[in-house]
Structure 1
Amino acid sequence: MSATLSQGFTQSAGDVLDRCDFEPPAAGEACVVLFDSAPWSYFSEEACALLDHRERERAVRFRHARDRDTYVLAHAMWRHVLGLTLRLEGARVPLSTSRSGQPILTDTSYATSLSHSGTQVAIAITEAATIGVDIELSPPRAALRDLADVLCSTDEAATLALLPPAEHEAWLLTLWTRKEALLKAFGVGLKEAPSSMSLNATNVVAPPASAGNAPACRVHLLQLPPGLVGAWAAPVHVAGCSSYVLGSPPP
């Protein structure tokens, strides 16, 4: 697939990032780029040119066109944003994954993470050992109350029990995104039960034994448009975060 096919997507992505004054993260900071992939579906075939063979093989396995388009556009925008940060063409970004599925930027000092819910996509970057991001549609598509035992530590279950029932789903959704961001930052995903971690007042959590040499991380809530809830997690020295909400591609 010729790289020239991606010029329309690349130009449009550059235009919307310029409009929101995107800057790569400074030392001790993170950045999160958010966008709705649905208005970009016109570019899905062109965007595929930025993906590597592993990503393209994964894309063709999706049964539904919307899911395939979301995957392709999320990964293409991810590569474009990483390319701006690393000063590389998106197709040349050294993006791979660990055995556990954690994204790796080989031979760089940066870490990155990706999340999507429906057609909404979040891309996180920092110059640090690791980062995790998670976004979810709100209200959730599935009832979380049935998952409270899997999600909540003993202390968190006690807190949940004190809340009015009408507040349970929103509280659990926020907790889910915070823990998912942490598990991604630790590089273990859902191989560790979320209930095994308990968030404290400082929001600093030590890694589980299965995370090897991962650093302790602090989890932060993301400020998101209505209809979304999200969080990001990174080593404690990463204190700030710049968020960029991308609009639709130029006509």
Structure 2
Amino acid sequence: MERDILGYRARFGVLGPSTNTIVEPEFSEMRPAGVTNHYSRIVIKNASAISNETFMQGTLEIDRKTYEAVEGVLTMGPDYLVMGMSAVTFYGGAEGAQKWKDNIQSKSGLKISLGSEAVAAALKAHGNIRKIAFLSPYYPVANAEVANYLSDHGYETVRDKPLQCPSWHDIARVTPSTVRETVNALNGDDVDAIVQVGTNLCMARQAERLEMELNKPVIAINTATYWHALRANGIEDKISGFGRLLSEF
């Protein structure tokens, strides 16, 4: 089969909420030569999340509209799909995530990398990790879903912090200093690794600095998801600037 001039190794169809301004640039920074990212927007409004209930309603609206974005990106003939929204991929534990994945793959005819699956794979790649702490821009009800999913994969959540961002746009406005303060509060001798979920929360490059300071894995979900997509396609390039996951595994 003839290949695109630029995407001669892989062409990724990236699915992300239209309100998300972080996934596209972070994935672009991680892109090796010969791989191209083609962002397809899940069209939603900038929902206000002011409670557990409104947050869940907002994420489920994204879920309902995901396949419209899949249909759009299929027109350019991608080799693989990458989910650039993480919350719904954790819902229902390991079983729920697998059903969600199977549904997208069945409808599209393509394989897909999910944030939930990628985080579990990243923790496994580091080895000797059992107890984690994580931060998110979510509300507590969604953090409980993340903890449940990770528990299904054998990881105990010691502490977690939902930042409870008041709108989708506000997630992208969380400052590096807030991220650092939150990570430091979550860290402890009883934690083997720190995880960040929520793809509109900017942390891919900061995770590397925190990882060096804390001397333990700090896994940003956009890094984990893009790493998972690359490795699933046999692309083993080691990429610096985003922590051990991309530079070593």
* Bucket of the pairwise TM-score, normalised by the shorter protein: under 0.3
TM-score (norm 1): 0.27
Higher relative contact order (CA 8 A, sep 6+): 1
TM-score by length of 2: 0.27
Q: Which has the larger radius of gyration?
A: 1
Higher fraction of helix: 2
